[in-house]
Amino acid sequence: MVAAAPVEGATTTQCSSRQGGFLRPHAGHVKGRSIERRTLTRHIEQWNTKDQPASSPQKVTSYRSPTTFYHSPITCERTRSISEPHDLRCRRRRLGLAGQTAPASQGVQPPPHMKLEPAHDTSFHGQARTFPSEHPMALDPSTRFLFDDILDEPRRLSPAYFLWPDSIRRRVPPGFVFPTTNCTIMWIRWFWGGTRHGVGPFRYLTLGDFDADDDVSRAKLEGTMAVMHVLVSNALAHDVDSETTLAHASERQLRTAFTRAFARVFPDRDAHTEAIEAFFPHCDEDVDIVLPHQPRKRAKTRVALRQPKKTPFTQVPETTANVEALWSLWFRGDARREPLRHLGVDDVQDTISKQRLAKAQHMMTRLIVIAVETGLVTSIDDIAKLATDNEPAFSTLFATVYSILVTRDASMEAKTIELTALPCRELWVGWFHATPPYRSLVSQDMNAGFAQVRALMVDLVTECCDLLLASSEDELASMDAPDLAVLFDDIFPVFLRRVSREATVVPVSGQSSCRQVTRWWQAQVIDESDDDVASSSSSLEDDSDVDSSVSELYDFSSSDVMSSEDISDQDAEHDAQSRKKKDVFPSLSAWKMWALWVQGDAATKYVPYRVVEQSFWDCTTRTQQLRWDNAACVMETFLHTAVTHGFVASANALECLDEGTLMAVFEDAFHTTSDEMALQQCVRWKAECTCSTLYKALLPRQKEAYRRGKLQPK
């Protein structure tokens, strides 16, 4: 069934979603005379039932009016002109191919007063993963058309993003129109992407990647998702183990899997000559194949409704000053409470205990990682066994790993002080050409002051990209040291003018240390937030210590890094005024949260979210607390999968990956986790779903493993 085109001069309105997004004709004016809907139906009946030549039999299909439910035959030629996209019809007219159909079809011409124009508006009604009874872009199988997409040198592409004029990153370039092609080519595009426009695998595309006015592309994508879902599901049931296997298969293997699946799903159909639009859902039975009905949840019984809700309450003691006592409580607990490593954020009610638990988890994670890296134990289970069976060995293990932690912190602190004391010009060159490059240092292994260095360098790299002096940080790394120095002399004055709020001479330069520039930069931020421009040039003369306000801004690590002596009493009032309001932890889809979880953003000065403590965020409400805990559980599950299966060497190595490689690791980890937990058919298990939604789909053993600390990646 197809949608009828509007009569010339008649107005059209979009029907409800229950009617499948048809364009239905309403009462309008044709040649100055008003006609009623029943009159229009009678004219269509006369046109379609007109005597036809016996030598040219017509292949007809049935059209049901959404309003009158009147069945009338429509010729195959009219089907093509109605369902075909407007841009493709225009191309046919330019090539002189307009009106070509199957050789045996001789389209019947309608009466002159009932000449139908092609539909310029292809309305598509329905939300994501919801298909109408008849897809608006569905074509008759006998339709002949010209493909606007051909397969030239297929090549596997990584997911890419394009910056649109509205400053939104999408997976398709501006103006991209979803191609009209056959199922064979679309199968390759679905897993490998399109080399012509540089678009990544089409299976990652969403309706939001297209312009809001591009109804045709959105409709094609929705129908293609339905067809590909059926083919991929059939291939998974017979030929391959997972969708990841298809994505990483060779071209020959990928084509073989498609040929077999297509033959089973669509026997006696041609995948090369028929458009993929011909396979879009045509009836309710097709929709049931794509989206099976989900069983309704059982209502709670009266007994369950009378049961009181569980409200666990555990108060975490203040033990951050005594790390050895915290080590014992973490693995053995005491007479009143179980081991702290078994607690989750849901088991703690008061905000202070939640913050203490987050700090304790951060400290214990560092100690456990050191114990495993040095070969003292193989896993956290070995430490728990020592805590119950061998107390002397348990105490000796703590003394060893804690001494290593203190030594490492001291060396990292010295390295951080050395970097913050370097002139910005020298630091810029060393960011790319030092041994090792400063940009390869991981924020988690450095002292808190390293966040100042990273924030300044990231801002300068962004300045280069905005001025079109370089396309990425990797391109800057390929430049020679002298060229980088010359480039720094060009962009640093631009950075100073952008940050400065005064028209006077800026008291810092490229030869100033990173500590001086950061302190001056923070002074500009404070003046802007308070609307009180204050002179801060006098504070730049003392280069001995980092201002406490800067330390407060970049304090993203646990309290063991910052001691009470670092902030003097005379600056306490100034710190309270300059302390910025806490941000609310964002609610994002899994693939968006993945990049922030391992690399951070401007809100955390590009420190990974997994390093930032929960106390950094505004978690005053129960919803905000659960949002952070659910995201942490889901992301740590993916990190554990990526490290365990060898997709990446370690979690820290993800910080230095480019965007394409980072998303490829996420893709492998996501589908591997899906295969391990048998979540392929779960409607909640989609990369576009939020972390809170994915958390509901996780198995109880995964949640328990996260709470027990087994999912902490190395």
pLDDT in tens, 315-348: 666 655 578 888 888 888 877 777 888 877 667 7
Which comes out higher in pLDDT, residue 342 or 292? Answer: 342
What is the identity of the amino acid at 614?
Q
Least trusted range by pLDDT, from 228-232, 252-256, 408-412: 408-412
Tokens coding 682: 């779960």
- Let me know whether 77 and 167 are in one domain: yes
| Nearest C-alpha neighbor of 654 from the set 672, 633, 630, 636 | 636
> Which of the four pLDDT bands, split at 50, 70 and 90, describes residue 381?
confident
For residue 303, pLDDT over 80 is answered with no
Question: Phi and psi for 498 in degrees, rounded to 5?
Answer: -70, -35
Least trusted range by pLDDT, from 401-405, 563-567, 706-710: 563-567
- Let me know whether 415 and 430 are in one domain: no
For residue 545, pLDDT over 70 is answered with no
Q: How far apart are CA 329 and CA 332, in angstroms?
A: 5
For residue 689, pLDDT over 60 is answered with yes
- Let me know whether 250 and 360 are in one domain: no
> Which of the four pLDDT bands, split at 50, 70 and 90, describes residue 565?
very low
For residue 589, pLDDT over 50 is answered with yes
**Could you write out the three-class secondary structure of 626-639?**
HHHHHHHHHHHHHH
Across the range 425-450, mean pLDDT stands at 74
> Which of the four pLDDT bands, split at 50, 70 and 90, describes residue 280?
confident
Across the range 15-29, mean pLDDT stands at 37
Does residue 3 sit within a domain?
no
| The pLDDT value given to residue 332 | 82
| The pLDDT value given to residue 452 | 76
Place of tokens 């794509």: 290
For residue 277, pLDDT over 50 is answered with yes
> Above pLDDT 70, what percent of the chain?
57
| Nearest C-alpha neighbor of 620 from the set 655, 582, 653 | 582
Task: Give the number of residues written for the chain.
Answer: 714
CB-CB contact of 714 with 650 (8 Å): yes
**Could you write out the three-class secondary structure of 282-346?**
CCHHHHHHHCCCCCCCCCCCHHHHHCCCCCCCCCCCCCCCCHHHHHHHHHCCCCCCCCHHHCCHH
What is the identity of the amino acid at 691?
C
Of 536, 554, 578, the one marking the end of a domain is: 578
- Let me know whether 70 and 184 are in one domain: yes
Nearest-Å Rg of the Cα atoms of the chain is 32
- The pLDDT tens digits of the residues spanning 192-244 come to 888 777 888 888 888 888 888 888 888 888 889 888 888 998 888 888 888 88
Question: Phi and psi for 168 in degrees, rounded to 5?
Answer: -110, 135
| The pLDDT value given to residue 674 | 78
Does residue 111 sit within a domain?
no
Across the range 349-366, mean pLDDT stands at 78
Q: Is 698 exposed, middle or buried (0-12, 13-18, 19+ CB in 10 A)?
A: buried
For residue 133, pLDDT over 60 is answered with no
Of 578, 609, 633, the one marking the end of a domain is: 578
Place of tokens 């364009």: 23
Cα dihedral across residues 358, 359, 362, 364: positive or negative: negative
Mean of per-residue pLDDT scores for the chain: 67
- Let me know whether 279 and 234 are in one domain: yes
> Which of the four pLDDT bands, split at 50, 70 and 90, describes residue 311?
very low
- Let me know whether 179 and 32 are in one domain: yes
CB-CB contact of 625 with 616 (8 Å): no
For residue 425, pLDDT over 60 is answered with yes
> Above pLDDT 90, what percent of the chain?
1
Other C-beta atoms closer than 10 Å to the C-beta of 43 total: 16
* Full DSSP string of 17-71: GGGTS-EEE-S-EETTEE--HHHHHHHHHHHHTS---TTS---EEEEE-TTT--E
Least trusted range by pLDDT, from 83-97, 473-487, 615-629: 83-97
Across the range 620-645, mean pLDDT stands at 83
Q: For the chain, give the longest Cα–Cα distance.
A: 102
| Residue 205: domain span | 12-103+117-290
Does residue 7 sit within a domain?
no
Specify the number of domains making up the chain.
4
3-state helix, strand, coil in the chain (%, to 5): 50, 5, 45
> Which of the four pLDDT bands, split at 50, 70 and 90, describes residue 445?
low
Task: Report helix angle 380-389 to 323-331, nearest 10.
Answer: 90
Other C-beta atoms closer than 10 Å to the C-beta of 239 total: 16
Do you find a cis peptide bond into 493, omega within 30 degrees of 0?
no
- Let me know whether 23 and 165 are in one domain: yes
CB-CB contact of 660 with 158 (8 Å): yes
Of 385, 420, 455, the one marking the end of a domain is: 420
Does residue 313 sit within a domain?
no
- Let me know whether 376 and 481 are in one domain: no
Does residue 112 sit within a domain?
no
- Let me know whether 55 and 188 are in one domain: yes
What is the identity of the amino acid at 50?
K
DSSP at 75: E
CB-CB contact of 638 with 670 (8 Å): yes
- The tally of CA atoms less than 13 A away on the side-chain side of residue 68 is 17
Tokens coding 82: 């109605």
Does residue 315 sit within a domain?
no
Tokens coding 201: 């695998």
For residue 153, pLDDT over 70 is answered with no
For residue 144, pLDDT over 50 is answered with no
> Which of the four pLDDT bands, split at 50, 70 and 90, describes residue 262?
very high
- Let me know whether 402 and 475 are in one domain: no
Q: Is 527 exposed, middle or buried (0-12, 13-18, 19+ CB in 10 A)?
A: middle
Taking the mean position of all CA atoms in its chain, how far away is CA 146?
35
| The pLDDT value given to residue 682 | 66
Across the range 672-697, mean pLDDT stands at 74
| The pLDDT value given to residue 437 | 80
Q: Which residues contact 342 (CB under 8 A, 6 or more apart)?
A: 707, 708
For residue 665, pLDDT over 70 is answered with yes
Least trusted range by pLDDT, from 325-329, 502-506, 651-655: 502-506
Other C-beta atoms closer than 10 Å to the C-beta of 126 total: 17
Q: How far apart are CA 107 and CA 76, in angstroms?
A: 7
Which comes out higher in pLDDT, residue 714 or 176? Answer: 176
Q: Give the H/E segment covering residue 463.
A: helix 450-466
Phi-psi region of 643 (alpha: psi -120 to 50; beta: other; left: phi over 0): alpha
| The pLDDT value given to residue 566 | 44
Would you call 263 helix, strand, or coil by DSSP? helix
- Let me know whether 410 and 432 are in one domain: no
CB-CB contact of 206 with 688 (8 Å): yes
**Could you write out the three-class secondary structure of 522-588?**
HHHHHHHHHCCCCCCCHHHCCCCCCCHHHHHHCCCCCCCCCCHHHCCHHHHHHHHHHCCCCCCCCCC
- Let me know whether 245 and 124 are in one domain: yes
Does residue 695 sit within a domain?
yes
| The pLDDT value given to residue 355 | 75
Across the range 533-543, mean pLDDT stands at 40
Does residue 168 sit within a domain?
yes
Which comes out higher in pLDDT, residue 12 or 272? Answer: 272
